[in-house]
Structure 1
Amino acid sequence: MFKKEMFKNKNASQNLMEYSILYHTIIPFILSALAVVLITIVAERYGTKTGGVIGTLPSTIVIAFLFIALDKGTEFASESVAVVPVEMGINLVFLLLFTLLASRKILVALAGSLLGWTALTIVIFYSNLTSIVVSLALFALCFVVTFILLDKGKKITSQTSTEVHYTPLKLLSRSLIAGTVIAIAVSFSNVGVILSGIFSVFPAIFLSTMLISMREHGPQFAGAMAKGMIYGSPSVVSYAVAIYFLYPLAGILVGTIVSFLIGVVVTLVLFLLRKKIS
């Protein structure tokens, strides 16, 4: 009898470990790799405005909060998502800093933008922000300021298509960069109410997209890519706000589906309006 219990416990532990590896590593790696490859290819073929809008369609945040809700419940997920809009605003500051430092070495741009992101994130963490309204207001402020600084201050203009010869090695390297960064970030996305919200929108896709853009096309293209992703960021925020209200009311399945559809609608609106920005 004791041996049977030991065997059952061993199987349960093994299943839990397999589930954890699937959630924390494999799914985020595959999704993020596909997302970044899609963003960069779309931007290279159709311009940075289109790439930025398509690239900010809710993707990893959907998986992160789906598993957070399954693991900790809808109330925990709803509380965690309150910090997402302001953290998304900090991600826009990350893009701004990367662009401002992009004329220097890529390591300087990376270090400076990550230091800025870390400093602002620490402030948010210790503020214990729980109001979705305040969070949204701070996102709106970051959105307006970062976009204007790039558009009017730095006079970053959107880039049109650029010729790129795609090889399996090039696509593989893009996938590995994106997948590795995001798999690490998602590993920390289930460790407390505020931290779960913060790490669910860690700027991993932004980071890997900027690194690839800088490495392959230079600072001008990277800046245009940043501007495009800033413009497209409301789609992720709309998804976050939707699950904040819908998870407790409608449950995980309906809440996720309806919230994603809302994110898609916002993305379509931004896509249709993209020609109005320079």
Structure 2
Amino acid sequence: MLLSDAVVSGLAAATIAIAITILVERLGGQIGGVIGTVPSTMVPAAIGLWAVSHNPSDYARAMSPVPFGMLINAIFLLVWRVVPAKLSGFPSKWLVPLTTAISLVIWVFGALVVVEFFENVDQRGVPPLVVGWFGFLILVAFGLSVTAKGVPEVRATTVPSIPILFSRGILAGTAIGAAVILGHSGHSLVAGIAAVFPAIFLTTMVALWWSHGYDLPASATGPMALGASSVALFSLLTASLYWRLDVLMGTVASWLVAVVVCTGGSAYWLSTRRTLIQSEVP
């Protein structure tokens, strides 16, 4: 049962990852970045973790770190905008490996900090969902701050190859399958962090850079960081709705609210920032 839950969740996540990234690259960095962060791989992850959770409290413990995990992902994305600009003097062939290594080191460090933080929170008896909602507010504030000055629109001119698309699916599916297995083993905090491993973000950044250079992935980092709040909101809502409704209704309701509030709100915010950029052009 555990293996089948992990495989089904992983395959669903892989399929969603491939579909979403195709959509992103056809819409450009700004709008595509926001749409690409709608709750996608998190949907099968949430369903899989609920299936292996012993009770609603265990599931809530797995979901409450997700906003902080997405905050780490937002910082991970920002590295892809800042580090290449700072290391512009390096040979171009080294920029992608260096940026990949730096971003992953930062992500792993951040994940360890979040796990340690939530373990301390548990010991103090603080409800994990309360901390999760606090993390959601921090994530939204971070996303607004990194897009406040506007985001230039850059579009892709080519479509990624089939192997690249499959690599995204494999990475995303593996991360989600591992999260389900960890959730069943009782490591719910680690499972919640594993569920938000930036598999799609990483492969998207690398693939876009190889295909189009620095400008396109850099233009998508801010919108993706802001749009990541939809995943966090979806996760927190499922922790409150799954045990009140059934899984299907809870998933649909959580997804719709997250997309309307966060994805729609992010798109509107970015449209006002685009107007700001246009008004500043002499």
Supply the AA of the counterpart residue of 1:227: G
Q: Which residue in the other structure is 1:98 paired with?
A: 80
Which residue of 2 is the match for residue 161 of structure 1? 155
Report the equivalent of 1:31.
16
Structure 2 CA distance for aligned equivalents of residues 89 and 19 of structure 1: 27
Q: Could you tell me which residue of structure 1 aligns to residue 49 of structure 2?
A: 68
Q: Deviations over 1:65-116 (max 9, x none)?
A: 1111122255132221011111111111111122212344101111101100
> How large is the Cα RMSD of the aligned pairs?
2.3
State whether structure 2 residue 13 is matched by structure 1 residue 22.
no
Secondary structure at 2:155's aligned position in 1? coil
After superposition, the Cα gap between the structure-2 partners of 1:162 and 1:27, relative to the gap in structure 1 and judged at 3 Å, is closer
Seen in structure 2, the aligned counterparts of structure 1 residues 142 and 70 have a Cα distance that, compared at 3 Å, is closer
The yes-or-no answer on 1:87 pairing with 2:66 is: no
C-alpha separation in 2, matches of 1:142 and 1:264:
16
Aligned partner of 2:90 in structure 1 is none
> What TM-score results when the alignment is normalised by the length of structure 1?
0.81
| Structure 2: unaligned runs, 5 residues or longer | 88-94, 122-126, 275-282
1:52 is the counterpart of 2:44:
no
Aligned amino acid, residue 30 of structure 1: T
Larger radius of gyration: 1
Flag structure 1 segments of 5+ consecutive residues without an equivalent: 1-14
Distance in structure 1 (CA, Å) of the matches to 2:134 and 2:55: 24
Give the Cα separation in 2 of the matches to 1:74 and 1:240: 16
Structure 1 residue 203: Cα displacement:
1.2
Counterpart Cα distance in 2 of 1:20 and 1:122 = 23
- Farther-moved stretch of structure 1 (184-193 vs 126-135): 126-135
Identify the residue that residue 255 of structure 2 maps to in structure 1: 260
- 1: CA distance, partners of 2:152 / 2:167: 24
Equivalent residue runs for 1:132-143 within 5 Å: 132-143=129-140
Residue 145 of structure 2 corresponds to 148
The amino acid that maps onto 2:176 is V
| SS of the residue 2:151 aligns to | coil
In the TM superposition, what is the alpha-carbon distance from 1:231 to its structure 2 partner? 2.1
1:117 to 107, 111, 126: 107
* Alpha-carbon distance between aligned partners in 1 of 2:244 and 2:272, rounded to the nearest angstrom: 37
Q: What secondary structure, in the 3-state scheme, does the structure 2 residue paired with 1:256 have?
A: helix
User: Which position in structure 1 is the counterpart of 2:26?
Assistant: 41
Find the counterpart in structure 1 of residue 164 from structure 2: 174
Give the Cα separation in 2 of the matches to 1:39 and 1:57. 11
How much does 1:250 deviate? 1.7
Segment of structure 1 superposing worse, 50-59 or 247-256: 247-256
Instruction: Provide runs of 4+ in structure 1 moved above 6 Å.
Output: none
TM-score (normalizing by structure 2): 0.80
More displaced 10-residue stretch of structure 1: 34-43 or 253-262:
34-43
